[in-house]
Amino acid sequence: MPSSGSGEKAVLDLLADVAAYSISQADERYLAFPDTGDSVAAVLATIVGTFLNQNLIAFDRSAPAGSVIEEQVIRWLRDLVGFPPAGPPTLGTLGGMWSSGGNMSNHIAVLVALSTKWPEIRRSGLFGLERRPVLILASGVEHFSYLGAAQALGLGAESLVWAQAGSDFRTDAAALAATLEALPDDVEPFMVVGIAGNCRTTAIDDLSAIADIAKRSGLWFHVDACHGGSLLFSDKLSPALAGIERADSVSLDPHKGLFTPYSCSYALFKNPADLARMARYPDRLADADMLDLGLVTPFYGSRGFESLRLWALIHHLGREGIGALVEARQTTFQELQAVVSSHRSLRMIASSDFYRCAFVFLPVSVRAAAAQALTVEGGAARVAAIVSEYTARCCDLLYRSGQLVFDIFTLRDLNNALGCGSDVRLQVMGMAVGHPGVSDSLSSHIQRMLDAAEEALAAEMNQRLLESSVGNAGAQVALGPAGW
């Protein structure tokens, strides 16, 4: 800690230095996450909101305009999802809250679902329950927030019951129903999770089919629309999320695919009374003069005017304008996906409904050696390990060049695209396209970068595959930056 200050000019220089060492997710060559966060209106609102420095914990003496604006944003989002209109603006009819991210929104949804089924938990905790509460979700496509929520809320990891995901990387509704049927007697299900755009391939579940199962079994239906939520702005693309309106809770992440800077996420509840159960002073819920959001926002105390940025974006472009950008991004994604899926050094593992796909480094020149290696005993594991290793190296090479960024993460090859089995976990590169449009030269730039990576790695990889037919190739498993 400096003991004496260095003055304004030095601080400005320091900030410039910080910027120089920061990654621009809005750069068109950044294709790891869709979080461009570059809506001019939303960036401006972030600056203004910071200057205003409102505390959204309370209305009076803290954030009068901020509370009303957040309430309005929640109303708009509820409308977008297809939830019934909230009543007059009181804490009891709010039916949603801002949160710092999808991870937190999912925690809040699990908490509210749990407290709705067993309201006594708020007084006596989980100890009084006769059977272990469990939630059901598909394995292989899940986000870690559900495990995190189970651990943080005292349910424990064993409260997650896994259903099989399909080869299309969606929750398999039939497998989900069978999992529910087969639950042991000592557990009690309370929640089913559907995913509108999973974190690895952005495949969108058949939400109506999952809603049918949840409703038939009297279970809370949560839809994780952190990625897919942006499609709701487009009349053309929103049908992919049909059934979301039947959810009991929905998480949305405008700071992912909606051009909004961090932190911007929302947890919405169809029945506002479910969230209102969290109220610190239940007798104030219907009070028309009371919009102290901090009384019904679990996990949060003081917090800033975060909703201003999404509010400004919506005012700037309107629902139609945002929808047009989301549709344009879809086209851009499809163009860039065609570039990577046709490049001779890559093999697609999962293509997607929208802005993300996953692939491995497997140049045409090594495929004969890979096929040969697969024929020997233990060959599948070795090929998977070598492909994973070179995929990670390719991704790292591109990243360290500073010229092209893909994501790296682990993915079960549910469709057995590599021929090593559908249980095998691979390291894959992910391409996520957040931009509505990119320059014409980006496609050729990507091709050139991939050509160079192939030049650097293919011969060595081929040699490793040839050796693996006779010896142990060794496995290296590294997780990507998001730890998937």
Ligand X SMILES: Cc1ncc(COP(=O)(O)O)c(C=O)c1O
Q: How far is the CB of 193 from ligand X (least distance, A)?
A: 10
Judged by CB, which is closer to ligand X: 198, or 238?
A: 198
Judged by CB, which is closer to ligand X: 198, or 388?
A: 198
Asked if the bond preceding 115 is cis, omega within 30° of 0, the reply is no
Residue with the shortest CB distance to ligand X: 102
243, 192 in Cβ contact below 8 A? no
Q: What is the dihedral of CA 353, 356, 357, 359, to 10 degrees?
A: -170
DSSP structural state of residue 141: S
300-333 in b/e form (b: 16+ CB < 10 A) is beebbbbbbbbbbbbeebeeeebbbbbbebbebb
Cα–Cα dist 209/108, whole Å = 24
CA neighbours closer than 13 Å in the CB half-sphere of residue 162:
12
Judged by CB, which is closer to ligand X: 77, or 195?
A: 195
Q: How far is the CB of 236 from ligand X (least distance, A)?
A: 22
Q: How far is the CB of 248 from ligand X (least distance, A)?
A: 17
Judged by CB, which is closer to ligand X: 100, or 443?
A: 100
Q: How far is the CB of 482 from ligand X (least distance, A)?
A: 6
Q: How far is the CB of 270 from ligand X (least distance, A)?
A: 19
* Strands 249-252 vs 220-225: parallel, antiparallel or unpaired: parallel
Q: How far is the CB of 255 from ligand X (least distance, A)?
A: 6
Judged by CB, which is closer to ligand X: 66, or 102?
A: 102
Cα–Cα dist 74/276, whole Å = 14
Show Cβ contacts of residue 456 under 8 Å, excluding neighbours closer than 6 positions: 397
136, 152 in Cβ contact below 8 A? no
Give 407's strand partners.
430
Binding residues for ligand X (CB under 6 A)? 101-103, 106, 143, 145, 195, 198-199, 224, 226-227, 253, 265
Q: How far is the CB of 102 from ligand X (least distance, A)?
A: 3
Cα–Cα dist 88/403, whole Å = 52
Judged by CB, which is closer to ligand X: 135, or 199?
A: 199
Judged by CB, which is closer to ligand X: 363, or 480?
A: 480
